[in-house]
Amino acid sequence: MLNREEREGKKSRSRLFGQRRLPETRESLFQHRDSTEPWFSGCESWLDGGLCMRVISMIPAATEMVAVLGKVDCLVGVSHECDYPAEVRHVPKVTRCDVQHADLTSSDIDSWVSQTLKASGTLYKLDESLVRQLEPDVILTQRLCDVCAVEFDSVAELAASLSKPPRVVNLEPSTLKDIFENLRTVAEVLGVPDRGETVICQLTSRVEFVRQSIEAAAHRPRCVVLEWIDPPFSSGHWGPELVGLAGGVELLGKNAGHSTRIGWDRVRHADPEVLVLACCGYETNRALQDVPILARQPGWDDLAAVRSGRVFVIDGNAYFNRPGPRIVDTIEMLAQILHPELFATTFPDRGIIRLGSEAGA
């Protein structure tokens, strides 16, 4: 998640750890099934009721919240970036981005973001005609980051101009608590507050399991999470908090602050024991393409993380940079990375890649 000023450029949960068990909740939406199953699989039978309304989601995290609350069928429109769960891929797209499928380098994308924000204030095109046709009752969006979605004021102005103005809900999280509050807000808007509380309870239980488990750790590794590689950006908002909850110490990120462009020297001088590459908007394979850029930096081979083989690449687009229900998956992934002695086989395989290890983490 980037500051406009800075970037105007899966297994049973009954597996034992010591004397503890992963928390189990009856008919849990988030129980660890086979990793190929959606995290809300099997919940449709008890997720009924609530309000019947027409919802447009402008952000992937909100789309996942609607889904985990059992209200996928309420979605009449989503953003071009909404890709999970699979059902939403067939919902009409109300936004687009000119460079979505362009073959650009990370440096070129950074430059395009800077220039486009400076020139027009937004990176995305909103299909106003389609929005009018869809006649939404609710639009879920955000004003936290201009790099992440259509500018909030544009959405609000369009909503106000509709014959039946929809409710525009701003989701603006900076911390894990904020993310859970956003989920609570969406549940209330959809008329299923009890479901929201159930889901939040389940997510909180998983976070607490990790927190209690790392009390057995002898050491909290020094860690750096990069949200972009060329140029490097430190983690921001909830990122450093997640590292802390997973049993590490984030050296460069600022809790509840913006992701910030940093010089390579800062990474080099921090000398992290663990380096996590979680590039905003990039799946794992795309982020891997930029690793050689880092490997050419002075002092790369001397970093503690490189010497010990503790450089990891994760799907930042799906997990680290998406403040929805799967943010707890991110905490579990970080715990697995930071404390393999405690969590190596506890959680499902979520595609973590350990550089130099063909099998991943």
- Residue count of the chain, please give it: 361
> Residue 244: what pLDDT?
98
Rounded to the nearest 5 degrees, what angle is found at the Cα of 61, between the Cα atoms of 59 and 66?
95
The β-bridge relationship of strands 16-17 and 20-21 is antiparallel
Judge whether residue 101 has pLDDT over 80. Answer: no
Closest CA relative to residue 67, chosen from 29, 10, 115 = 29
Q: Which two tokens stand for residue 348?
A: 């499902």
Distance between CA atoms of residues 179 and 177, nearest Å = 5
Residue 320 pLDDT class (50, 70, 90 cuts): very high
CA distances to 81, 226, 229, 268 from 297, rounded to whole Å, are 32, 15, 11, 9
> Residue 49: what pLDDT?
55
Tell me which of 30-34, 98-102, 254-258 is least confident: 30-34
Q: Is 216 helix (H, G, I), strand (E, B) or coil?
A: helix
> Residue 51: what pLDDT?
61
Q: Mean pLDDT, the chain, as a whole number?
A: 86
CA atoms within 13 A on the CB side of 228: 28
Closest CA relative to residue 1, chosen from 321, 277, 226, 297 = 321
Q: Is 106 helix (H, G, I), strand (E, B) or coil?
A: helix
Mean pLDDT, residues 256-269 taken together: 94
Regarding pTM above 0.75, the answer is yes
Domains contained in the chain, CATH given: 16-199 (3.40.50.1980), 218-354 (3.40.50.1980)
Are 149 and 172 in contact by the 8 Å Cβ rule? The answer is no
The β-bridge relationship of strands 311-313 and 353-354 is antiparallel
Each residue's pLDDT tens digit, 205-262: 999 999 999 998 999 999 999 999 999 999 999 999 999 999 999 999 999 888 999 9
> Residue 17: what pLDDT?
28
Mean pLDDT, residues 57-85 taken together: 97
Judge whether residue 103 has pLDDT over 90. Answer: no
